[in-house]
Amino acid sequence: MKYEATIGLETHVMQKTNTKMFCSCKYEYGAEPNTHVCPVCLGYPGALPVMNEKAIELCCKAGLLLGCEINPNSKWDRKNYFYPDMSKNYQISQADQPLCMGGELTVEVEGDMKTFTLERIHQEENAAKNTHVAGASLVDYNRAGTALMEIVSNPCMHSAEDALAYMAAVKQIMQYGGISNCDQEKGQMRSDVNVSVRPEGQKELGAKVEIKNMNSFAFIKDAIEYEIERQIAVLEAGGKVDQETRGYDPDRGETFTQRTKEDAHDYRYFPEPDLMPVRVSAEQIEQWRAELPELPAQRRVRYVSELGLPEYDAGVLTADMAMSDYFEATMAHTKNAKAVSNFLMGEMMRLLSEQGAAIADCKVTPEKLAEIIALIDAKTINTGGGKQIFEVIFNEGGEPKAIMEEKGLAQVSDDSALEGWADDAIANNPKPVEEYKAGNAASINFLMGQVMKASRGKANPGAVMQMLKQKLDG
């Protein structure tokens, strides 16, 4: 029998707010444990929560970026559970009236464009961080109460590849939108992965297994693939898949039972009596919409249609927001988009990856790159000279013109110098000369190479080619 897998993701994203969701404690990653806490986020009796407006703005903007409807009237609920990561014994969340509803995302998966739909995005507060050590569990409440959104997809994905493409797109959009840094190593983006399997053609979805709190894309891929196979094997053996929560063991590449059968009802949600409903006016939504940044997909289209870049370049440049911002900044000082793109995809990416550096710390500023390109366009230096200058500035800093002079990189177009090198190349290489004259046009490239070498890369290649042709053809 053939089976179809179905996947739905609940993606938790920590928003970039200065303070926590319902109190004025700061959140600082890596701070001394339990130093950013107060009666509200520790849940002392009688302490009253106060809503963080910035978090509401970021959640709504995330919704607008993902095509959601913004709910003008959402409300808060308590999700009750007993576990030390939430000392109040409930988490403030949104049950039936979330801030954002619906939404969708179109992404490329292995060459096909696919649209995945969202059920909702709701605002909630984060739980504390538990660390389990031998014989004990340690709790750090610094993270408790920080602003966290949950982006819930519909069960609309069918493979690990779908899920990864979806998550990568969500991450990119959150980063571009300034909603979150989505640093997975810092737990800023974590997903609960829901997987089920059904015989092909069956209408109802199979029982779902939820793998909670996954932050590595690689582990999510492995866990989904393992789980699909496991569930198919259960069905093939005539068994029934239990609805349960499973954990993923990265060392063994397997999932294992954590908790069986747990339903949303078990949490016993009830309305939060200490907070007013959230009212968002139509004017406010329009103002936020107007503030939204351009997304990678929109930038890609613009780079092709307005700047004339190849699709490939546009895709590479927009994949990383910092790279794309650098490209934009350079374009403020030059009109030569292709030259900028070539430098970024070539020298810049090579040097950054060789040195494990970040573009934000790069000594070649957008202004300096534009200046190097201007020197090339004016034929003051050739492209090779430009690359040398780029690398020097990248490593040591400095000014393009000064480095050009210091290294003697100014291009030689002067006829007498070129003529001397061309004559030498012809005299010393009778074989390629003969081949060229016999009709093998490509042989001239060897002679060209000799002249460039003799000039130590400084000859103007166009002028050299012209000079050689004149001598050989004439």
Ligand X SMILES: Nc1ncnc2c1ncn2[C@@H]1O[C@H](COP(=O)(O)OP(=O)(O)OP(=O)(O)O)[C@@H](O)[C@H]1O
**Would you tell me which residues interact with ligand X (CB under 6 A)?**
6-10, 152-155, 192, 194-196, 205-206, 208, 210, 264
Complex with Mg ion: residue 10 or 325, whichever CB lies closer: 10
- Which residues does 125 contact at the CB level (< 8 Å), separation at least 6? 20, 21, 22, 41, 91, 92, 93, 144, 145, 146, 147, 148
The size of the interface with Mg ion (CB under 5 A), counted in residues, is: 2
- Residue 262 touches Mg ion, criterion: CB under 5 A: no
Query: Least distance to ligand X from the beta carbon of 384, Å?
Result: 53
Angle between helices 366-377 and 383-396 (to 10 degrees): 160
- Work out what residue 153 binds among Mg ion, ligand X, none; the CB cut-off runs from 5 to 8 Å by kind: ligand X
Work out how close the CB of 366 gets to Mg ion at its nearest, in angstroms, rounded to a whole number: 42
**Residue 84 or residue 308: which is nearer to ligand X going by CB?**
84
Residues in Cβ contact with 442 at an 8 Å cutoff, skipping those fewer than 6 apart: none
Asked if 391 touches Mg ion (CB under 5 A), the answer is no
Q: Which long-range contacts (CB under 8 A, 24 or more apart) does 350-356 make?
A: 351/391, 351/394
Q: Is 274 in the site for Mg ion (CB under 5 A)?
A: no
Token pair recorded at residue 453: 């070498």
**Nearer of residues 36 and 79 to ligand X, judged by Cβ:** 79
Only segment of 4-12, 70-78, 312-320, 388-396 that touches Mg ion (CB under 5 A): 4-12
Please name the amino acid found at residue 39. Answer: P
The residue within the footprint of Mg ion, chosen from 4, 69, 85, 192 (CB under 5 A), is: 192
Give the separation between CA 195 and CA 206, rounded to whole angstroms: 9
Residue 251 Cβ, how far from ligand X at the closest point, in Å?
25
The one of ligand X, Mg ion, none whose footprint includes residue 371, by CB under 5 to 8 A per kind, is none
Helix (H/G/I), strand (E/B), else coil: 236: helix
Stretch that binds Mg ion, among 166-174, 191-199, 268-276, 414-422 (CB under 5 A): 191-199
Shortest Å, Cβ 195 to ligand X = 6
Give me the DSSP letters along 381-438: S-HHHHHHHHHHHHHH---HHHHHHHTT---B--HHHHHHHHHHHHHH-HHHHHHHHT
User: Nearest distance from residue 64's CB to ligand X, in Å?
Assistant: 21
Q: Which stretch binds Mg ion (CB under 5 A): 46-54, 153-161, 192-200, 445-453?
A: 192-200
How far apart are CB 224 and ligand X at their closest, in Å? Answer: 11
Positions that interact with Mg ion (CB under 5 A): 10, 192
